Amino acid sequence: MKTCVVLKMKLAYQLLLSDVNKHLAPVVPYVNIPLSLNQWIAITSLAFNAGPDGVKESKFIRAVNAGDMFEAERQFKDWNKATIIVDGQKVKRPVRGLTLRREREWALFATPQQVVMQIGRASCRERVSSPV
C-alpha cells in the first residue's frame, strides 16, 4: 500500500525554496555574467543532481563565464555519467537517463528569454519571495 503525503501550498513552497537555496546559493558567487531565469533553473537542476560543490568550480561554469556557450553545452552534457564497478575498478559510464535529463536541461538553458537576471551574491530566498 502506498502512503501519500499531502502538503499545504505554503509548506510545499517553503520546502522548494529551501532546496533551491541549498543547491543554487553555493553556485551563485561563481557565475560572473547575467543569466536568464531559464539558465538559472537549468543550473539549479544540475546542482541538485550533481551537487553544488562539483558544479560551482566546474569547466561548465568557467565556459559560461567566458561566454563560450558551445563549450558550456559540451561540458554540461558531460555530466551524464555514473560510477560503476567493473572488475573491481570504479569506472564512469554514460547513463541513458542522465543523458536524456542533461539534454532536456540544456534545452531549457538554451531557450531564449528577454528578462535577464543578475543574482549576484544575494541568496535565492531574498530574490524569490512569493509563490509563482
Tens of pLDDT, residue by residue over 11-55, are: 888 988 898 888 888 999 999 998 988 999 999 999 999 999 999
Per the model's pLDDT, the better-predicted residue between 2 and 86 turns out to be 86
Q: How far apart are CA 130 and CA 53, in angstroms?
A: 27
For residue 114, pLDDT over 70 is answered with no
| Cα dihedral 99→79→116→114 (10° resolution) | -20
For residue 6, pLDDT over 90 is answered with no
In the prediction, which pLDDT does 118 show? 53
H/E run at residue 89 = strand 89-94
Per the model's pLDDT, the better-predicted residue between 130 and 58 turns out to be 58
Q: What percent of the chain has pLDDT over 90?
A: 62
State the average pLDDT over residues 75-100: 95
Q: Please give the angle made by the CA atoms of 120, 74 and 45, to the nearest 5 degrees.
A: 50
For residue 127, pLDDT over 50 is answered with no
In the prediction, which pLDDT does 119 show? 54
